[in-house]
């Protein structure tokens, strides 16, 4: 009969030390990663859900209401006043972001994107309604599409450093956001329509000229942003 002797497997002291060291390293790495990952996730959440971004979201959600008033309810005056309110409250989110330090990278993209979307959709809708001269609407939309398209392309594909809207650009937007609903009120069946028809041109012409002026003024800013983006990419590589 053959006897098989079982020999217990014993870990020597060196192996035990190695295992203990490995466990300590893994535990430390997990602890080091847990904090930054959690903080990053929390930071993204906080940057998304801020009061300025909420205001911007509310303005975006009012866009279907504007289209309903204009085309379904056929209420030009109601649609015009809603559009005027959306345009006049554009400064609220920026003011809150600066005043209470709630600015965010997401808001820097979200707010101008919503502004441009509201403007393009509202002007297009009023063209369909027939309340605004086509040549004026085409001139306004062409500038928005060209400038917005160039900036978006350079930012997304050429890694351009983003820059804020200039003060003159904000003035041009303010004038045009006052002119567009005024054109709509000028065509509405209200007793103030002659006044708003005149006001539309008083705001629209300087606003259009200023918007093209600022469009050309963005060229050096775009060049500078592209150069900064190129240098940043080289440093990262």
Q: What is the pLDDT of residues 164-222, one digit of tens each?
A: 778 898 899 889 999 999 999 999 999 999 999 999 999 999 999 999 999 999 999 99
Q: What confidence tier does 100 reach under pLDDT thresholds 50, 70, 90?
A: confident
The backbone torsions φ and ψ at residue 191, rounded to the nearest 5 degrees and listed phi first, read: -70, -20
Question: In this model, does residue 47 exceed pLDDT 90?
Answer: no
Q: Can you give the pLDDT at residue 17? A: 59
pLDDT of res. 204: 97
- Whole-Å CA distances, 235 to 89, 225, 229: 41, 15, 10
Average pLDDT, the chain: 82
Structure-block tokens of residue 62: 């009012």
Place of tokens 């007793």: 191
What token pair was written down for 124? 């297009």
Residue 132, helix vs strand vs coil: coil
- b or e along 186-220 (b: 16 or more beta carbons within 10 Å of the residue's beta carbon)? bbbeeeebeebbebbeebbeebbebbeebbeebee
**How far is C-alpha 82 from the geometric centre of its chain's CA atoms?**
21
Residue 73 banded pLDDT, cuts 50, 70, 90:
very high
Longest dimension (CA), the chain: 118
Contact 103, 97 (CB under 8 A): yes
Task: Answer yes or no: is pLDDT of 107 > 60.
Answer: yes
Lowest mean pLDDT among 13-17, 51-55, 81-85, 113-117: 13-17
**pLDDT value at 102 more than 80:** no
Asked if the model's pLDDT at residue 225 lies above 60, the reply is yes
User: How far is Cα 161 from Cα 229, in angstroms, rounded to an integer?
Assistant: 5
Q: 54-57 long-range CB contacts below 8 Å, 24 or more apart?
A: 55/89, 55/92, 55/93, 55/96, 56/93, 56/107, 56/110, 56/111, 56/114, 57/114
- Judge whether 184 and 83 are in contact, CB under 8 Å: yes
The token duo for 40 is 């990053």
- φ and ψ at 50, to 5 degrees? -115, 165
> What predicted TM-score, i.e. pTM, was given to this entire model?
0.74
User: Coil, strand or helix: which one is 233?
Assistant: helix
Report the pLDDT value the prediction gives residue 29, as an integer from 0 to 100: 44
């Amino acid at each position: 009969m053959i006897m098989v002797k079982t020999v217990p497997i014993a870990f020597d002291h060196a192996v035990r030390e190695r295992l203990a060291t490995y466990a300590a390293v893994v535990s430390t790495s997990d602890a080091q990663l847990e904090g930054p990952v959690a903080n990053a996730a929390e930071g993204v959440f906080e940057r998304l859900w801020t009061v300025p971004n909420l205001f911007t979201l509310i303005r975006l959600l009012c866009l279907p209401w504007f289209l309903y008033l204009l085309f379904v309810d056929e209420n030009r005056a109601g649609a015009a006043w809603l559009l005027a309110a959306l345009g006049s409250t554009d400064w609220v989110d920026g003011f809150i972001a600066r005043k209470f330090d709630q600015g965010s990278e997401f808001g820097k993209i979200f707010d101008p994107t919503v502004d441009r979307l509201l403007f393009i959709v509202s002007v297009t809708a009023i063209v369909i309604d027939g309340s605004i001269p086509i040549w004026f609407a085409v001139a306004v939309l062409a500038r928005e599409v060209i400038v917005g398209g160039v900036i978006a392309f350079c930012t997304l594909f050429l890694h351009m450093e983003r820059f804020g809207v200039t003060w003159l650009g904000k003035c041009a937007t303010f004038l045009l956001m006052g002119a567009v609903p005024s054109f709509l009120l000028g065509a509405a069946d209200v007793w103030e329509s002659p006044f708003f028809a005149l006001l539309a041109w008083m705001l629209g012409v300087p606003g259009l000229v200023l918007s093209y002026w600022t469009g050309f003024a963005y060229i050096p800013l775009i060049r500078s942003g592209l150069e900064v983006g190129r240098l940043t990419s080289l440093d990262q590589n």
